[in-house]
């Protein structure tokens, strides 16, 4: 008897993606369940102070998680600090330099169109109630920060980050958006002994994937509901990045299907909708 199985964990879970110096691409459509989305980490210091690369046919989003860096693209240079982001169009030569240290998340997706380069300042987005907002209630309270979203013209990419209150669930109620968007979570700012539990499932009775997640881990959501929870006394923090299946048309945040039985709660994502 044959049994339909979900994608193997090896193509959905990538551990300690922040462990290497320099530029390291951890997730691509070739080694994962993603159709469009790729993710990597750029970690610079005195030993590796700069990297340069061409992004080819892939639009690129960089998010500074810690430290500061100078990013060069399209013949211009920009100074970026913590939680600043930059959207870089396809067919660009990119250079990233630091004077001290920098930890940067890199997301990219293949696109047909070429959209305008845009710098996103966290100091500005954090004051915009449509880009930084709280969602959830008792047991599921968290804060969402949208960085490359409705404020940026792009083809497929949407990205930001979420912090929960200690011991709380996020991405709650369970929801999915597989018809429009694939997604990846990258956990950060979760020092030991903090950890969380991540679920990804289409089978609501027997979830196909339940795994422990720690700082630097990445979990992919090609489809399915994807709630997670932090342990008591520690918050869960993660970058989320999505790639639209239909360029531009499907690039919409907050359009989700809530798991049957939980619809009365509401997703809490309406504020961030396009």
Would you state the pLDDT for residue 127? Answer: 96
Q: What whole-number distance in Å separates Cα of residue 234 and Cα of residue 244? A: 32
**Dihedrals phi, psi of 272, to nearest 5 degrees:** -90, 5
Distance CA 141, CA 194 (A): 18
* Nearest by Cα to 187 from 8, 17, 38: 17
- Measure the CA–CA gap between 239 and 85, rounded to whole angstroms: 12
d(CA 76, CA 88): 11
Q: Domains, the chain, ranges and CATH?
A: 10-252 (2.60.120.10)
What is the rounded distance in angstroms from the CA atom of residue 112 to the CA atom of residue 135? 34
Q: How far is Cα 120 from Cα 62, in angstroms, rounded to an integer? A: 10
Whole-number pLDDT of residue 269: 75
Give residues with Cβ within 8 angstroms of 262, minimum separation 6. 173, 174
Helix (H) / strand (E) element for 78: namely strand 76-80
| Pairwise CA distance, residues 156 & 127, whole Å | 25
DSSP per-residue letters across 227-253: -EEEPTT---EEEEEEEESSTTTT--T
How confident is the model at residue 10, as a pLDDT?
A: 73
**What residues have CB less than 8 Å from 10, skipping those under 6 apart?**
none
pLDDT at 86: 98
Sign of torsion over alpha carbons 195, 186, 149, 252: negative
Would you state the pLDDT for residue 2? 35
Per-residue pLDDT of the chain (274 residues; tens, 9 = 90+): 333 445 567 789 999 999 999 999 999 999 999 999 999 999 999 999 999 999 999 999 999 999 999 999 989 999 999 999 999 999 999 999 999 999 999 999 999 999 999 999 999 999 999 999 999 889 999 999 999 999 999 999 999 999 999 999 999 999 999 999 999 999 999 999 999 999 999 999 999 999 999 999 999 999 999 999 999 999 999 999 999 999 999 999 989 999 999 987 777 676 666 4
Reply yes or no: is the peptide bond before residue 173 cis, omega within 30 of 0: yes
Write down the number of H helices and E strands in the chain. Answer: 1, 23
Distance CA 134, CA 79 (A): 28
Helix (H) or strand (E) holding 123: helix 122-125
b/e per residue 10-23 (b: at least 16 CB within 10 A): eebbbeebbeeeeb
Contact present, 178 and 223 (Cβ < 8 Å): yes
Provide the pLDDT for residue 26.
97
Per-residue model confidence (pLDDT) at position 7 = 57
pLDDT at 273: 60
């Amino acid at each position: 008897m044959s049994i339909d199985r979900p994608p193997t964990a090896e193509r959905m879970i990538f551990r300690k993606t922040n462990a290497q110096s320099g530029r390291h691409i951890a997730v691509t459509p070739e080694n994962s369940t993603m159709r469009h989305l790729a993710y990597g980490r750029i970690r610079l210091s005195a030993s590796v102070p700069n990297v340069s690369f061409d992004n080819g046919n892939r639009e690129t989003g960089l998010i500074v998680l810690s430290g500061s860096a100078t990013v060069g693209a399209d013949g211009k240079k920009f100074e970026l600090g913590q939680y600043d982001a930059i959207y870089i169009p396809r067919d660009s030569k990119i250079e990233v330099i630091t004077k001290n240290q920098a930890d940067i998340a890199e997301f990219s997706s293949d696109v047909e169109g070429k959209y305008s380069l845009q710098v996103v300042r966290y100091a500005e987005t954090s004051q915009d109630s449509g880009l930084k907002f709280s969602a959830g209630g008792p047991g599921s309270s968290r804060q969402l920060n949208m960085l490359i979203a409705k404020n940026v013209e792009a083809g497929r990419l949407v990205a930001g980050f979420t912090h929960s209150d200690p011991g709380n669930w996020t991405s709650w109620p369970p929801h999915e958006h597989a018809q429009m968007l694939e997604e990846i979570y990258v956990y950060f700012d979760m020092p030991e002994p903090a950890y969380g539990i991540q679920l990804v499932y289409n089978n609501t009775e027997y979830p196909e994937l339940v795994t422990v997640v720690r700082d630097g881990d990445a979990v992919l959501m090609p489809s399915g509901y994807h709630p997670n929870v932090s342990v008591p006394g520690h918050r869960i923090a993660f970058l989320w990045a999505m790639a639209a299946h239909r360029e531009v048309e499907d690039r919409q945040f907050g359009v989700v299907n809530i798991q049957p039985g939980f619809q009365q709660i509401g997703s809490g994502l309406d504020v961030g909708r396009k």
